[in-house]
Structure 1
Amino acid sequence: MKKLIINADDFGYSRGVNYGIIDSHRNGVLTSTTFMTNMPGRDHAAELAKENPNLGVGVHLVLTCGRPLLDSHRTIVDSNGDFRNLKFYKGAFTIDYDEVYKEWKAQIEKFLSYGLTPTHLDSHHHINSFGQMPEVFLRLAEEYSLPVRNNMDTEKTKDLIEKEIKTTDSFAYLIETSLKNKAALDELFAESESVEVMAHPAYLDKKLLSTSSFTYPRVDEVEFLTDPDRVKLIESRVDIVLTTFEEL
């Protein structure tokens, strides 16, 4: 049986994001999400996670949004103590990777403090694939015995196999094309037995509108993931099962 994981990033960003994710799970085909433990909607997200035990919840490691959990950093924060913008990492950059390790470990521990069990690790803005971040990312995956998102280059994917870290066979960025119709599903699994499709469903609230450049398409994603025809399309497939990273 082929395994399909539909994962929503940014759980914990805000209440509007949280509700969009939960509706996409309860009323649609969303199976998984990843939790931002440094954002203002985190307590609300933890409550919703406990109320929805069939939703797989992993940790969305953050380095480019909001403020860190630790206040001892010097190289991964700006003069205000906020995380540096993603643009900082798109050029040549120099940071202390030990700060990244300590911050990400603190974020995982914060998640565990809610009494939740993580299903996997990924990162905000795919920052785990920049510079030497993959080494830190995989170190933590090994330390906590967690599966990870398969969004790194080929060499790092080989490391996953050597380290026996679980991941999906492939990773898709766009739900609109990956889950569009029967032909798209066939293509998605043409060479893979397990696939993660990334999503960003949300309802718009002031926090999201004032701090994110990606807003209105998120509402479309809620509609897409809960569309009755799409639910029927995916759930009617006898060769595909909707699941979470826990079942890899």
Structure 2
Amino acid sequence: MTKFLIVNADDFGLSPGVNRGIAEAFAAGGITSASMMVNMPGFQDAVRLARLNPFLGVGLHFNLTYGKPLSEPRLVPSLVNSSGAYLGIRSAAAWTDKDIATELAAQWNRFVSTGLRPTHLDSHHLLHQNIPSVFNVMASWAEREGIPMRRSQTPIEPNGQQAWTTDYIWLDTYHEEDGLLRLLRCLHNLPDGTTEIMCHPGYADDILRELSEWANVREAEQAVFCHPSVGLTIQALGICPIHYGMLIKKRCEMERIPIPSLAAAPTDLIPAIEPAPEPQPLREKQQRLIHSGKNRKKKRSPAKRRRAGRASPARGRRRQRSRKRRKRPS
């Protein structure tokens, strides 16, 4: 059985430094996928890099703990404090399904308004792994949109919401001295089927240092996933590197269903294409004349050409000179 591998970098869109690190790791062959945060300072820069790297799978990194929601605070009261910022994971017990779904819809719509479509769905701080209400809302949304969701290691209730996902997931950090060695060992022991390896590469910038305590961790993982031995080992072991979008295509082909498009997104959030300008009336008239032949120069018949020649002054002078030459004595 073939071994398929998704190496997914979290927090795409967190800051320009993180974005640059993820793009470089993808170019080095160390990652195949990324999860984008749409409510953070580096979002527009991440969209730009995603368009420059169309073979990088990009999913939605649903965020309920960093910064502020995209929804108006009055629409998601259980998620925010008096200043409109997220309350954080410690207040998760008070989150309502309605508020979670409202903010998920807002973040999804922000993503697809760029013209991109998420290849998968996961969450910041692995919320869907630890909070059943978040998992149920996300799984329901992923099923509706026909996309996979990051595998949850938390046991799912038999009658609970299910999710389409990978066979395995490898949750680890690679910032310590033996990080590269542990990653290579993981690749050598990869099971048959589809496995996701989660990582957090990135370069520390001022925005990242202000938002996260993981700046040094990200730079250490940046060095690991940009190391040439990672891509070479994947190739040498015959592992097939993929992203979640390839799983979507394969599933749609097997089940003979259309590949999901942007049809589910609100039309007012997708830039409209302006129609081509109407042809000018004068040009239309010219086209009609051309097709009807009215403006073409008509060819004259031989008889008309002869008559025109007889009436020509030049031809008359030539005839007079010819008669004078014949009258001269020899």
Which amino acid is the alignment partner of residue 243 of structure 2?
Answer: T
SS at match of 1:80: coil
**Deviation at 1:247?**
2.1
C-alpha distance in structure 2 between counterparts of 1:179 and 1:32, whole Å: 21
Does the C-alpha gap of structure 1 residues 242 and 83 become closer, same or farther in structure 2, counting only changes over 3 Å?
A: same
**Deviation at 1:203?**
0.4
Is 2:54 aligned against 1:79? no
Does the C-alpha gap of structure 1 residues 181 and 66 become closer, same or farther in structure 2, counting only changes over 3 Å?
A: closer
1:102-148 deviations in Å (ceiling 9; x for gaps): 10111011100000021100000011231421111111111211101
Which amino acid is the alignment partner of residue 57 of structure 1?
Answer: V
SS at match of 2:94: coil
**Deviation at 1:188?**
3.3
- The residue aligned with 1:180 is 182
**Deviation at 1:2?**
0.8
Is 2:244 aligned against 1:245? yes
Which amino acid is the alignment partner of residue 63 of structure 2?
Answer: V
**8 A contact 2:59–2:118 mirrored in 1:** yes
SS at match of 2:34: strand
C-alpha distance in structure 2 between counterparts of 1:37 and 1:181, whole Å: 29
Paired positions, count = 239
C-alpha distance in structure 2 between counterparts of 1:115 and 1:156, whole Å: 36
Is 2:209 aligned against 1:209? yes
**8 A contact 2:184–2:230 mirrored in 1:** no
**Deviation at 1:182?**
5.3
- The residue aligned with 2:91 is 88
**Deviation at 1:166?**
2.6
Structure 2 regions of 5+ residues with no counterpart?
248-330
Does the C-alpha gap of structure 1 residues 128 and 204 become closer, same or farther in structure 2, counting only changes over 3 Å?
A: same
- The residue aligned with 1:33 is 34
- The residue aligned with 2:304 is none
Which amino acid is the alignment partner of residue 193 of structure 1?
Answer: G
Highest RCO, 1 vs 2 (Cα 8 Å, sep ≥ 6):
1
Matched-pair identity in %: 34
Does the C-alpha gap of structure 1 residues 207 and 185 become closer, same or farther in structure 2, counting only changes over 3 Å?
A: same
Instruction: Summarize the alignment of residues 224-243 of structure 1 with structure 2, pairs less than 5 Å apart.
Output: 224-238=224-238, 240-243=239-242
Does the C-alpha gap of structure 1 residues 65 and 231 become closer, same or farther in structure 2, counting only changes over 3 Å?
A: same
Q: TM-score, normalised by structure 2?
A: 0.68
**8 A contact 2:13–2:36 mirrored in 1:** yes
Moved more, 126-135 or 19-28: 126-135
**8 A contact 2:76–2:102 mirrored in 1:** no
- The residue aligned with 1:169 is 167
**Deviation at 1:154?**
2.6
**8 A contact 2:136–2:160 mirrored in 1:** no
**8 A contact 1:178–1:197 mirrored in 2:** no
**8 A contact 1:39–1:66 mirrored in 2:** yes
Which amino acid is the alignment partner of residue 22 of structure 2?
Answer: I
**Deviation at 1:87?**
2.9
C-alpha distance in structure 1 between counterparts of 2:246 and 2:206, whole Å: 36
Is 2:125 aligned against 1:122? no
C-alpha distance in structure 2 between counterparts of 1:102 and 1:218, whole Å: 31
SS at match of 2:156: helix
**8 A contact 1:119–1:245 mirrored in 2:** yes
**8 A contact 1:29–1:242 mirrored in 2:** no
**8 A contact 1:178–1:185 mirrored in 2:** no
Structure 1 regions of 5+ residues with no counterpart?
none
- The residue aligned with 1:197 is 197
**8 A contact 1:179–1:185 mirrored in 2:** no
